[in-house]
Amino acid sequence: MSNNLEMFREEVAAWVTENFPPGLVGSAMGLEGQSSDEVKADFELWRQRLAGRGWGAPTWPKQYGGADLSDAEAKIISQEMGKQGAFNPIPLMAGMGVTMVGPTVLEYGTDEQKEKHLPGMASGEVRWCLGLSEPNAGSDLASLSTRAEDDGDSFVINGQKIWTSGADISQWCGALVRTDPSAGKRDGISFVLLPMNQEGVTTKPIQLISGISPFCETFFDNARTDKKELLGPLNEGWSVVKRLLQHERQSQTQARSPSASSNKPSLQEVAKKYVGVDDSGKLDDPDLRVRLVEHLMDSQAHNLTVGRITAEAKGKVEVSAAASILKNSATRVAQGNSELTLELMGNQGIGWEGDNFNADELSNVRDWLWGKAISIYGGSYEVQNNIISKNILGLPETTQKG
Ligand SMILES: Cc1cc2nc3c(=O)[nH]c(=O)nc-3n(C[C@H](O)[C@H](O)[C@H](O)COP(=O)(O)OP(=O)(O)OC[C@H]3O[C@@H](n4cnc5c(N)ncnc54)[C@H](O)[C@@H]3O)c2cc1C
């Protein structure tokens, strides 16, 4: 690693020590929960300090609220925060802003759109949702039927979206709409940015078996957005969304469950605690030992591949169809980790509540269940395989026509 990066690492470590409110250690996942007033005030202070340095979205240009850093520098920030129990809450607070809509606005947006929308995402003050999926358009997204009609200075939007994460608490939405119904399936689609706080938008949270409602049905009933909010050219939204989905998949290449906390015990620690070791100090179950080692090797190979791609790109990763490969390998590693942890813990790994289970056990069963979503959101595992076969391996299109 270059001296510059080493110096940067020291600078980051010192800044985090000085600025991260110690009361927030270990409370990353309580961000959205019922925190005390004191914790809320600490969160706000930490958000302001991070946003002030441009570290909410560190690789974005300074003029739009970022810090103009490389991916390698951004990784150092998250590593040094992790060492001190700190975290960057801004991408979570911005919903789909920092990780998906923002990078697409940077690429396709007008100067006016960049100035208007990016700073609010980078500071975590404006939350975004993403309106792509519809009841009859999931994997086959190009079948979408939500319409946007030209009405002078604005578009009038009618239709329904589904699985819209955070729609009920977002101020803006990036939505895929049909602007030319007479054109072919993937033509005549546009990508618009639209305000959620208006009469024509209704959201209905979908309650899951666990009681939480991470996503909604979203209804557009004569909703409006200014024509200036068209992202990219009219009727070319399919190219815009393909790019957005690459950013989404790129952001999902970390091989850990999104709900996993940074101080979660390692698989080896869990194995030793629940399965025990034999006289020579080896895990006391040869079959599990082999599967554990295979998983750890897969996980290491995945992490090294992500690291190599970052290094080869000299710190600036070009997002491409290869994100589909990394998304699928991250999915396999994250789900494999949860499955193995569950198996190692045995009965203790399947408790939902109660004094008989400790915090790690209770959080593991939630991680395991939540992990099932990883192979669906951002485009399913099978759909990524289709993209890999067509766009990387050059095999013929066999699944979707039109
Ligand atoms: C936690 C979570 C959050 C989400 N957040 C959002 C959001 O914020 N905004 C949004 O717009 N959407 C969101 N989604 C929706 C997500 O993008 C879709 O669920 C996903 O694209 C799959 O679509 P579907 O659910 O309609 O399944 P379907 O398309 O009906 O697929 C069902 C099954 O068939 C398989 N399949 C379908 N077509 C093919 C094919 N051609 N080849 C092989 N197999 C195929 C799929 O792999 C899957 O196993 C979210 C989903 C989840 C789970």
Distance 130 CA to ligand 1 centre (A): 14
Query: CB of 160 within 8 A of CB of 146?
Result: yes
pLDDT tens figures, 161-209? 999 999 999 999 999 999 999 999 899 999 999 999 999 999 999 988 7
378 Cα nearest atom in ligand 1: 17
Among 49, 71, 50, 44, smallest CA distance to 60 is for 71
Q: State the DSSP H helix or E strand holding residue 49, giving kind and residue range, or none if neither.
A: helix 37-53
pLDDT tens figures, 117-166? 999 999 999 999 999 999 999 999 999 999 999 999 999 999 999 999 99
Query: CB of 311 within 8 A of CB of 71?
Result: no
pLDDT above 70 as % of the chain? 91
Span 324-329, average pLDDT: 92
pLDDT value at residue 260: 46
Select from 127, 134, 163 the residue to mutate for testing ligand 1; criterion: most ligand atoms less than 8 Å from CB.
Answer: 163
137 Cα nearest atom in ligand 1: 26
Span 76-85, average pLDDT: 92
- pTM strictly above 0.75: yes
For residues 113 and 265, the model is more confident at 113
Domains of the chain: 3-93 (no CATH), 128-235 (2.40.110.10), 252-392 (1.20.140.10)
Distance 21 CA to ligand 1 centre (A): 39
165 Cα nearest atom in ligand 1: 8
- Residue of minimum CA distance from atom 35 in ligand 1: 382
Q: Which single residue is written with the structure tokens 């602007």?
A: 179
Query: CB of 192 within 8 A of CB of 231?
Result: yes
Report the mean per-residue pLDDT for the chain.
90
Span 275-288, average pLDDT: 91
Six-digit token string for 158: 């009618």
**Residue 313 pLDDT exceeds 70:** no
**Residue 28 pLDDT exceeds 90:** no
Six-digit token string for 384: 């990524």
pLDDT value at residue 180: 97
Among 292, 287, 288, 319, smallest CA distance to 306 is for 319
Binning pLDDT at 50, 70 and 90, where does residue 5 land?
Answer: very high
- Residue of minimum CA distance from atom 17 in ligand 1: 377
**Residue 310 pLDDT exceeds 90:** no
pLDDT value at residue 211: 75
Alpha-carbon Rg for the chain in angstroms:
22
Alpha-helix runs per DSSP H in 54-142: 71-83, 90-93, 102-108, 111-122
**Residue 29 pLDDT exceeds 50:** no
**Residue 376 pLDDT exceeds 90:** yes
For residues 265 and 47, the model is more confident at 47
- Residue of minimum CA distance from atom 30 in ligand 1: 138
379 Cα nearest atom in ligand 1: 21
Select from 99, 130, 133 the residue to mutate for testing ligand 1; criterion: most ligand atoms less than 8 Å from CB.
Answer: 133
For residues 214 and 110, the model is more confident at 110
Residue 365 and residue 348: Cα distance in Å, rounded? 9
Residue 97 and residue 172: Cα distance in Å, rounded? 9
Give residues with Cβ within 8 angstroms of 164, minimum separation 6.
129, 130, 131, 133, 173, 203, 215, 216, 217, 218
Give residues with Cβ within 8 angstroms of 264, minimum separation 6.
360, 363
pLDDT value at residue 258: 42
Select from 170, 203, 376 the residue to mutate for testing ligand 1; criterion: most ligand atoms less than 8 Å from CB.
Answer: 376
Q: What type of residue is 167?
A: A
